[in-house]
Amino acid sequence: MPREIILFGAQLPVLVPLFLGAGFGMLLLDRLFAIVGLYGLVWHPALFRVALFVCLFALMGLAIY
């Protein structure tokens, strides 16, 4: 697995697209959880969102490496 991606002549770490993918996945899950009403059951919704993003990013990173 290459550790860099060349994009328009610039070398980017593989984790940059994963970060963007985790952000997009987080937006989808955030919308889903808001519709379902999960945030009413959570003590601190902003902290829950950050923790969910970190978990998504870590799982995607572990799947690659």
Q: Which residue has the higher pLDDT, 18 or 5?
A: 18
33-59 pLDDT, tens digit per residue, is 999 999 899 999 999 999 999 999 999
Of 7, 29, 22, which is closest to residue 62 (Cα–Cα)?
22
The residues facing 10 across adjacent strands are 7
Q: Answer yes or no: pTM beyond 0.85.
A: no
Q: How far apart (Å, rounded) are the C-alpha atoms in residues 17 and 40?
A: 31
Q: How far apart (Å, rounded) are the C-alpha atoms in residues 63 and 65?
A: 6
